[in-house]
Structure 1
């Protein structure tokens, strides 16, 4: 058993060394089974207070993706297999917290009201936050999901490119996010690298040495 754990850990590091932010994608499509696994991994990721203050949009429609890519220098927006849009909440409402905590009680087979202390604490906390603070907070949670997506994709040997170079107002408009109480936080393309035409495909990963990047305080 210990050997198996060490072997799995080595595979994770190997897969993370394999991944990079792909610049050119091939026409090969990612299977829906693998996309489903990546989406499930995102859904299982950590979020502050555990309340998932963002939603995920998985887009393959070529016309929609063409519109989303207008004016952007990131061809990955429309040239990859799938486009994931992480959309943060504009506001953390008392109604959302009430419903979410009720769902938590149900899924954990708890009596109704068992998590009232948590519910009341969250409602009190978010009631004094400004809309701007809500947006920043939800964006931070979306980025945690993005990190999980990158790791999950690498484990499945699916290439991915995280991007901030997009027009959030355009995304909000095309996807109708504002009407849903959401805003585009960050995006991620999925697909397979075009090794012949991506100049980064053959380059080794460049990172700081561990002893310069990390510090141990005993």
Structure 2
């Protein structure tokens, strides 16, 4: 199975070469993230793809993760700060159009979502959105591996700095998790030649019949 082989190939790259990832491959990774599962399908986060060297240098200030600026592309997964009624209305209407349904066909779903999120605190909304963004991160890692593009998922960054530099707060968003993309520098990355270490399957997983 190619998927398993590709996942065995991937690791969290520490040092990237200067080789850039083609826009075609970046677009495929973006599309894969857009196709990611999300609770109720409402995609409560947005993706920022950053190549600007000056911006990335600023984003990496104070972080031990040099991959923020020393890679081909940087992906920022930014969760919603709140799930508004307007967003739910707009999203459900879009779904009805894309599925060729009558207007109001998904009113039960819409009303259920509005009822649920209206009683959640902003903190609960933001936490939930970030968890949904992590599902997108997982898909991005798999998509990159399938395309033989190296990647590094990262939590070691200053989210407030990202929010400020990227103007996320004004967009109703917050930086949840980030990921760099590029190609490994095999000569200078100490992990490039290290065997992958994982628990034995029978220790990691349990089948309950």
Fold shared by both chains (TM-score > 0.5): yes
Select 1:107's aligned residue among 82, 85, 98: 98
State the SS of the aligned residue for 1:25. coil
1:163 aligns with 2:127: no
- Quote how far apart the aligned CAs of 1:175 are: 0.2
1:142 aligns with 2:133: yes
- Quote how far apart the aligned CAs of 1:98 are: 0.3
Superposition map of 1:89-100 within 5 A: 89-100=80-91
> Once superposed, what is the RMSD of the aligned Cα atoms?
0.3
Quote the Cα distance in structure 1 between the aligned partners of 2:194 and 2:58: 32
Superposition map of 1:123-142 within 5 A: 123-142=114-133
Quote the Cα distance in structure 2 between the aligned partners of 1:95 and 1:155: 37
For structure 2, the residue ranges without an aligned partner over 5 or more in a row are none
Runs of 4+ in 1 over 4 A off after TM superposition: none
- Quote the residue 2:191 is aligned against: 200
- Quote how far apart the aligned CAs of 1:42 are: 0.1
Superposition map of 1:176-195 within 5 A: 176-195=167-186
C-alpha offsets along residues 21-70 of structure 1, whole Å, 9 cap, x if unaligned? 00000000000000000000000000001000000000000000000001
- Quote the residue 1:154 is aligned against: 145
- Quote the residue 1:61 is aligned against: 52
With the length of structure 1 as denominator, give the TM-score of the two structures. Answer: 0.96
For structure 1, the residue ranges without an aligned partner over 5 or more in a row are 1-9
Quote the Cα distance in structure 2 between the aligned partners of 1:80 and 1:125: 40
- Quote how far apart the aligned CAs of 1:79 are: 0.4
C-alpha offsets along residues 106-143 of structure 1, whole Å, 9 cap, x if unaligned? 00000000000000000000000000100110000000
1:28 aligns with 2:19: yes
- Quote how far apart the aligned CAs of 1:15 are: 0.2
- Quote how far apart the aligned CAs of 1:214 are: 0.3
